[in-house]
Amino acid sequence: MSASQPAFLDLEGVSRRFGDRVVLSDVTLAIPPGRITCLLGESGCGKSTLLRIISGVDRPDGGRIRMSGAEIVGPDRFVQPESRRIGFMFQDYALFPHLSVAENLAFGLRHLPKAAQRDRVAEVVARIGIAHLIDRYPHSLSGGEQQRVALARALAPQPAILLMDEPFSNLDQGLRERVRRETLATLRRIGTTAIIVTHDPQEALAVGDLIVLMRGGRIEQVGTPFEIYDRPASPYAAEFMGPCNRLTGIFSRGRIETPIGTFPADLDLPDGALALACIRPQALSIGPDGHGISARVMAKTFMGESEQIDIMVHPLAETLRMHSHVRIPMAVGEKVSLQLNGAEIHVFADDGLGANGRGTNPRETID
């Protein structure tokens, strides 16, 4: 968000606890207008709680929220959900099974005269492209059709902001990508300010104009997809956005020395301090033995469009993992030479978690 562009939604010091468990801790965030913001994080990090607090379904224990400059949540103020002009699209769509599509769309318009309801339903039906579904009932719709109807129902009252909680998670992979693409095209065409919750970093990279990575009830990093992937602020951010090989090294004169090479390190550390290199699998490549760092192929896994290869390098205790989009002729057990692409190497002060040849990925622990 540029300095000249005011935030549409301002969160300041928002906190929430359930009993002794702190779910949100001092969350401060600016949501830009007319853009899609993704709240990203593993299960239990507080992203869905934050969405409920924004909508008014839940109250924070502390902090303020301003919408277009007007306070809607504060120590002495709480605007009721129905007065916030905020739309909410649930993960399971929550369509009323006993109502037709037209009746579902009109449900949130009951404050309008009948003629105005019909006009507004017709407008949103045309905009979303679901005229052929208007007389059908939810049970007769496919997952993709239900998702489009749920989107239309959320947009029918003309909300100032749309909140979406894991909106594509119930769809099969192929359908998910198509519906996601159609939904994003609709939101961007009409200039909707939207906040989408997801636990999938690849989805966040594909969807968000702005990504808010959360961890343990706090904000870990905020940035555009390119910023958060190319310039992660912490080892956690680097590993959450994609697999990494972790290597501990020694910091000296603006560089980190590791068993497989020395890399630039823009760190405020004394010489001799431990530092950490997070190396993307795509940063590694191999060639015939004798043209780089001596290594050995330990395993190969064919993944369709790419191949995953585990490589052992002395004196590392565990293998390094690389991805290749070209076929690697070297067989398991064969000696090779390892080469590195420094553009995919992120360097941090050591976080004390130790180094393993193949870095852990926080996504592997998500339910």
pLDDT in tens, 156-165: 999 999 999 9
* pLDDT tens digits along 262-280: 999 999 999 999 999 999 9
Residue 252 in this model has a pLDDT that exceeds 70: yes
- Determine the pLDDT at residue 367: 29
Q: What are phi and psi of 102, to 5 degrees?
A: -60, -40
Of residues 128, 126, 153, the one with CA closest to residue 138: 153
Regarding whether 301 and 337 lie in a shared domain, the answer is: yes
Residues 225 and 250 in one domain: no
**Mean pLDDT score of the chain:** 90
Q: Are residues 281 and 252 in the same domain?
A: yes
The answer to whether residue 109 sits within a structural domain is: no
Residue 16 is part of a domain; what is its CATH number?
3.40.50.300
pLDDT at 5: 55
Domain-embedded: residue 20:
yes
Let me know whether 202 and 350 are in one domain.
no
Co-location of 275 and 348 in the same domain: yes
Query: Is residue 119 in a domain?
Result: no
- Give the pLDDT score at 354: 54
Q: Region 52-76: what's the mean pLDDT?
A: 95
Q: Would you state the pLDDT for residue 6? A: 60
Domain membership of residue 331 as a residue range: 243-365
Looking at residue 240, the DSSP 8-state letter turns out to be H
**How big is the CA angle at 91 (ends 85 and 92), to the nearest 5 degrees?**
110
Whether 226 and 292 map to the same domain: the answer is: no
Tokens of 207: 């969807």
Are 316 and 217 contained in the same domain?
no
User: Same structural domain for residues 196 and 266?
Assistant: no
The share of the chain scoring above pLDDT 70, in percent, equals 94
Quick one: DSSP state of residue 74?
E
3-state secondary structure of 146: helix
107-132: pLDDT as tens digits:
989 889 999 999 999 999 998 989 99
Partners of 77 in beta bridges? 74
What are the CB-based long-range contacts (under 8 Å, 24+) for 208-211? Answer: 208/36, 208/37, 208/38, 208/40, 209/32, 209/35, 209/36, 209/37, 210/1, 210/31, 210/32, 210/35, 210/36, 210/37, 210/38, 211/37, 211/38, 211/40
Map residue 86 onto helix, strand or coil: strand
Residue 305 lies in a domain: yes
Number of domains in the chain: 2
Beta bridge partners of 256: 251, 263
Q: Are residues 216 and 307 in the same domain?
A: no
The DSSP call for residue 115 is H
DSSP state of 289: T
Check residues 353 and 319 and name the one with the higher pLDDT.
319
In this structure, the strands spanning 21-31 and 70-74 are unpaired
- Residue 37 tokens read as 């913001």
Instruction: Give the tens place of pLDDT for each residue, 179-223.
Output: 899 899 999 998 999 999 999 999 999 999 999 999 999 999 999
Side-chain-side CA neighbours of 153 within 13 Å: the count stands at 28
Percent of the chain's residues with pLDDT above 90: 73
CA–CA separation, 183 vs 202, rounded Å?
17
Asked if residue 173 belongs to a domain, the reply is: no
Q: Hey, what's the torsion of the CAs at 133, 134, 138, 139, to 10 degrees? A: -60
Place of tokens 């990090």: 45
Tokens of 79: 């605007």
**Residue 323, amino acid:** H
Asked which of 231, 259, 294 is the last residue of a domain, the reply is: 231
Specify whether 217 is located in the same domain as 254.
no
Spell out a b/e string for 166-203, using b for 16 or more CB atoms within 10 Å of the CB, else e.
bbbeebeeeebeebbebbbebbeeeebbbbbbbbbbeb
What pLDDT band is residue 93 in, cutting at 50, 70 and 90?
confident
Q: What is the dihedral of CA 130, 133, 137, 138, to 10 degrees?
A: -40
Say what angle helices 114-128 and 143-155 make with each other, to 10 degrees.
130
Confidence check: pLDDT of 42 > 80 = yes
The CATH code of the domain that includes 303 is 2.40.50.140
Query: Given a cut of 80, is residue 327 above it in pLDDT?
Result: yes
In a domain, 333, yes or no: yes
320: closest CA among 303, 335, 336, 298?
298
Residue 131 maps to a domain:
no
**pLDDT average, residue stretch 96-102:** 94
339 shares a domain with 266: yes
My answer on whether 298 and 225 are in the same domain is no
36 within a domain of the structure (yes/no): yes
How high is the pLDDT of residue 315? 87
Residue 259 pLDDT > 50, yes or no? yes
Q: Of 180, 203, 231, which residue is a domain's last?
A: 231
pLDDT tens-digit map of 80-91: 998 999 999 888
Q: What is the mean pLDDT of residues 271-297?
A: 91
What is the pLDDT, as a whole number, of residue 110?
A: 86
Query: Helical H runs in the chain?
Result: 47-55, 101-106, 114-128, 143-155, 173-189, 201-207, 225-230, 235-240
